[in-house]
Chain A
C-alpha cells in the first residue's frame, strides 16, 4: 500500500500544480478588476462624505450632489463636453470614413505608407499638436490668422481655435487615425458580391455607397462612433491647452480646475460627486458600445476563403484622393509640428518676417532646465517599461478568465476591464491620489513615487490591453490547448508551450503600443505628480501653464524626436508579426 501511495504522490502533486495556473490567472485578473472597482468605489464614498477623509467622525451626506446639480455651471460644463465630443466625432468621421474607404476599397496608391503615417499621427502627444494649433490659429498670434489678415486686409482674425468648435476640430483631427483603423477593418470585412450585385443592377457609385456599403458598415461605424465619442468625452490634453486660458471647460478640465482651485482649498467631495455622475454616463456608454459590438456580427458578410474585396478604380479622381490624404497629414500633423519648431526657435512667438528670422536661435534648447528634463526623461522611461509590462500580464489574465475559464461572473471581468476606456482617466487619478494619501500612507507609502503613476496608468490602459489579448486569444482555438492537455501537458505547460508562443506577437505589439501611449500621457500625471515623479509631459504642461511657450515647444519637439526610434521599432515589429492594421 505504501508503495502505491508513493507512486501516486507525484501524480497528485502534478494535478495540484495543474490547478494552480487557473487559480493564479483568476487571482491576477481579480487584482486587475478590483483595482478598477476600488478606484470607482473610492469616488463614490468620497462623494457622500464631508470632511477630511482620514477623520473618523466623517459625516455622510448627499448634499454634494445637490450642490453640483443646483450649480448652473455644471450644465454649462456638461453641455460643453457633449458639444466638444460631438464636434470631435463629426470631424474624425469626416476624415476617417473617406480615407478608410479609399484605402480599403479603391486602388489608392501607397496604402502601407498611409497606415504608417496614421500610426505616427496617433502617437504624437496630443498636447504638442494642440500647442502647435494654438500658434497657428490663435486669434491674435496665430500665424495663419495673421497671414490672412495681412493678405486680405481683414479687420478680425477669421479663425479662433480656442472655442468649443475649434477644440473639437483639433481633437477630431487627432482622433481620425484611430477612427480610420477601426472603420477600415469594417470596410475590409464586407462582402464585395453585394456591391457587385448592386453594380450589375445599374447602381452607380453613390447609390451603391448609400444603399449597400454604408448600411452594411453601419453597426461597425456606430460602434466606432461610440468609442471615439467617449475618447472626446474624456479628453484632457486638447481642451486643457486650448480652452483652459479662456475658461472653456470640458468635464476633464473642470475636474482639474476643481482639484487645483485658484483660491482656497479644493473640495474633493464635490469633485467626487461630479465624477460619479460621469462614471454613470461612462457605464452607459460602455454598455451601449458592448451592445453595438454584439449586434455587429449579424451584419458580418465575409464569405470565408472565397472572400475577395472589390476594388473601385479611382481613375481621374486619384489625384484628388491623394490630395485629400496628403492634405490631412499636412494640416493635422505637419503644420502644427513645424509651428512648434518655429516657436521653439524664438524668444517669444511672433509672425514670420525677416526680423523674426533674425531672432531664430537654439537659445530655448540651451536654456532648458537640464536636471529637470533628465529627471523627466528618466521617469518617462520607467513608465514606458513598467506600465506595458504589467498591463500585458494583467490583460492576459483577464482575457484568459473571460474566454477560457468557466467562472460564473467572467462577463463582469470583461465589463470592468473595459470600463477605464469610458471613465475619464482624471477621475481615476483623483481617486488614486486620495487613496494613496489617506488610505495607503501607513503601510504602502507610494504617494509621490513613480509607482503611484504606474498603478493608475495600468488601470487606465487595462481596457486597451485586454481588448488586444481578447482579440488574440479568440483567434486561438481551444483544440490546441486541449490537444496539449491530452498529451500530458499541465495547465502551466499549455500556457508556456502553446498560448504564450502563439500570443507573443500580439503581446509584443500591444506592449510597444502601450509604451508609446504611456510616453504621451498627460492627464494622469498632471494630477498625481509631485517633486520626484514628473514625466516629460508634465514638465511641458508646467511650462505651458507658465506661458513659457518657447521652452514648452522645445521639449515637445524633443519628445517627438525621441519617439521616432521607438516608432520605427514598433513598425518593424508590427510588420514582422503581421499584426499591424495594414496587414
Chain B
C-alpha cells in the first residue's frame, strides 16, 4: 500500500510542479539538448503543405529554442511531397551521403517501406517526453512520432457547397452531374484503405477507379487550396488532410466534407533520417511540435493537430462523426505493415488512373 501511495504522491507532485505537457529535462534529454547546442543548426526540407513551409519552420525554431534554451538556427528548404522526397532520401542513404533534410515528414504509406530500408533513426521518444508521447504515438520501431491527424475529405470551394453537401459516399461522384467537375489526386490518396479487404477489396476499387478516371476533370495534388479557392478545380475528391478550411486564409472560401466510405484517421509522422547532419536538433524540433504549444502552433498555421492529444482541436470532429455512425479506419504503420499486399494493389490503381488520365 505504501509504495502505491508514494507513487501517487510523486505523480501528484509532478503534476502540480509542471504545467500540463511541460517537458522534464531528464539527463538523457539534457544530453540531447547539449549535443543540439553543439550542432547549432537544423535543416528542414519538406513540401509546404504538411507543416506550412517557412512559416512552420519559423514557429518551430522560436518554440524549440524557447522550450530548450537553445539558439539553433533552423533553415527551411522546399522539397517535393512525402514519397518523392523519401525516394531521394533513401538513395542518399544507400550512397552513404548526408541526408538532405534532418527532419522527414510522412504518413504510414511512405514511412513503412523507407523504415524497412533502414532510413530512420530509432529514438526513445516516450522516455524523452513521457508527459506527452504515449507508447502508441511512437511507431515503426520508434522511428516515427505522430504529429498530426489527417482526415481525408472532399475539399471544396464554397460555391459548390450545396452540391457537395448532398454527397455522402464516393459513388455519388460517379453520377452524371459531377462529370468533369472535380479533381482527384494523382496518387489516389486514401484509396489504400478502400483497396484493403476490410473495405472494398481490389476488384471493387479497380472498377471504381476505372469509372473515376473517366469522370474527373483533372488531377490535383493534396495541399493545393489556392487552386480550389481560385475555382481552377473547385472540388477535390479526396484531399489527404482535410484541413485547409481551418486556416484563416481559407475559412470563408473552402469547406471539407468527410465521406462515410473514406472516414480515416491517418497520422502524419516526423522522423530523423539515420544520416541526418543535425540529429539532436531534429529530435528537439520534433519534441517541440509534440508539446501543447507546438500543437497549437501547428493548428494555427496548418489547420490540424494530432487528434489523440487531450488538447486537440481535431479530436472533437472525429468524435462527432463517430457519434453520427461514421466508422473510422486508423491508418498507422502497424496497419499498413499488416497488409503488405496493399502497396502493389494501390500502385496498380494509381497506374490505372494515371494511364487513363494521360490519354485524355
Q: Known interface pairs A248-B358, A441-B97, A548-B48. Does A369 touch B230 (Cβ–Cβ under 8 Å)?
A: no
Max chain A CB contacts within 10 Å: which of B81, B230, B234?
A: B230
A437 cross-chain contacts in B, Cβ below 8 A: 91-92, 95, 97
* Residues in chain A near residue B355, CB distance under 8 A: 72-73, 76
Which stretch from A30-38, A114-122, A347-355, A420-428 is at the chain B interface?
A347-355
Which residue of chain A lies nearest to B225 when distances are taken between CB atoms in the complex? Answer: A547
A369-B231 CB under 8 A given contacts A54-B94, A260-B88, A549-B226? no
CB distance from B194 to the nearest CB of A (A): 15
Q: Interface centre among A52, A54, A141, A539, by most B CB within 10 Å?
A: A141
Please, how many angstroms separate the alpha-carbon atoms of A72 and B355 in the complex?
9
Given A260-B87, A260-B88, A546-B78, verify A531-B221 contact (CB < 8 Å).
Answer: no
Q: Are A263 and B100 in contact (CB under 8 A)?
A: no
Complex alpha-carbon distance, A350 and B159, angstroms: 13
Find chain B residues with CB under 8 A from A80 CB: 358
Hey, which chain B residues are within 8 Å of A261, CB to CB?
83-84, 87
Is the beta-carbon distance between B87 and A52 smaller than 8 angstroms? no
User: Is B221 a contact of A547 with CB atoms below 8 Å?
Assistant: yes
Contact B77 A372 (CB under 8 A): yes
Q: Mark B123-157, 1 if CB is under 8 A from A, else 0.
A: 00000000000000000000000000000000000
User: Are A140 and B234 touching (Cβ within 8 A)?
Assistant: yes
Interface core residue of B76, B113, B359 (most chain A CB under 10 Å)? B359
Determine if B219 and A546 form an interchain contact, defined as CB atoms under 8 angstroms apart. Answer: no
Q: A575 contacts the other chain (Cβ, under 8 Å)?
A: no
CA distance A317 to B100 in the complex (A): 60
| Complex Cα spacing A542 to B97, Å | 23
- Which residues of chain A (509-565) have a CB below 8 Å from chain B? 530-531, 534, 538-539, 542-543, 545-550
**Contact of A17 with B by CB under 8 A:** no
The answer to whether A263 and B187 have CB atoms under 8 Å apart is yes
Q: Which of B18-26, B262-270, B295-303, B342-350 contacts A (4 or more CB under 8 A)?
A: B342-350
Q: CA of A261 to CA of B350 in the docked complex: distance in angstroms?
A: 11
Q: Is A108 an interface residue (CB 8 A)?
A: no
Q: How far is the CA of A438 from the CA of B47 in the complex (A)?
A: 26
Chain B residues closer than 8 Å to A362, beta-carbon distance: none
Interface bits B180-220 vs A (CB < 8 Å: 1, else 0)? 00000011000000000000000000000000000001111
Does A371 reach chain B (CB closer than 8 Å)?
A: yes
Instruction: Tell me whether B332 is interfacial, beta carbon within 8 Å.
Output: no
State whether B75 touches A371 (Cβ < 8 A).
yes
Contacts of B47 in A (CB 8 A): 542, 545-546
B residues 92-108 in Cβ contact with A at 8 Å: 92, 94-98, 100-101
B34 within 8 A of A: no
Q: Are B43 and A531 neighbours in the complex by a CB distance under 8 Å?
A: yes
Q: How far is the CA of A353 from the CA of B155 in the complex (A)?
A: 25
Q: Cα distance A500–B231 when bound, in Å?
A: 58
Considering residues A76, A248, A539, A542, which has the most beta carbons from chain B within 10 angstroms of its beta carbon?
A542
Residues in chain A near residue B346, CB distance under 8 A:
263
Chain B residues near A538 (CB-CB < 8 A)? 78
Complexed CA–CA distance, A546 and B350 (Å): 20
Interface residues on A, range: 35 or more
Nearest B residue to A77 by beta-carbon distance? B358
Q: Do B231 and A263 have beta carbons less than 8 Å apart? A: no
**Are B76 and A372 within 8 A (Cβ)?**
yes
CB of B302, distance to nearest CB on chain A (Å) = 13
> Shortest Cβ distance from B312 into chain A, in angstroms?
25
Interface string of B326-352 (1 = CB under 8 A from A): 000000000000000001001100110
Quick check: is A249 within 8 A (CB to CB) of the other chain?
yes
A-side contacts of B358, CB under 8 Å: 73, 76-77, 80, 247-249
B-contact 0/1 string along A21-54, CB 8 Å cutoff: 0000000000000000000000000000000111
**Cβ-defined partner of A263 (8 Å) among B43, B79, B343:** B343
- Residues on the B chain within 8 Å of A260, using CB: 80, 84, 87-88
| A265 is an interface residue with CB less than 8 A from chain B | yes
Tell me which of B101, B224, B234 contacts A547 (CB under 8 A): B224
CB B151 to nearest CB in A, in angstroms, measures: 20
A245 touching B96 in the complex, CB below 8 Å, given contacts A140-B231, A140-B232, A263-B346: no
Q: Hey, which chain A residues are within 8 Å of B233, CB to CB? A: 140
Q: Which of A234-293 contact B (CB under 8 A)?
A: 245-249, 259-266, 268
Contact B230 A350 (CB under 8 A): yes
Give B169 Cβ to nearest chain A Cβ, in Å: 25
When each residue 235-265 of chain B gets 1 if its CB lies under 8 Å from chain A and 0 otherwise, what string results? 0000000000000010001000000000000
Cα A259 to Cα B95 with chains together (Å): 16
Additional A-B contacts beyond A260-B87, A545-B80 (15; CB < 8 A): A247-B357, A247-B358, A248-B360, A259-B87, A262-B81, A263-B343, A349-B226, A350-B230, A369-B53, A371-B75, A372-B78, A531-B45, A546-B53, A547-B221, A550-B226
User: Which 3 A-B residue pairs are closest in the complex by CB-CB distance?
Assistant: A542-B78, A547-B224, A437-B95
A-B contact pairs, 8 of them (CB 8 A): A53-B95, A140-B231, A246-B218, A260-B84, A264-B343, A348-B227, A369-B53, A549-B227
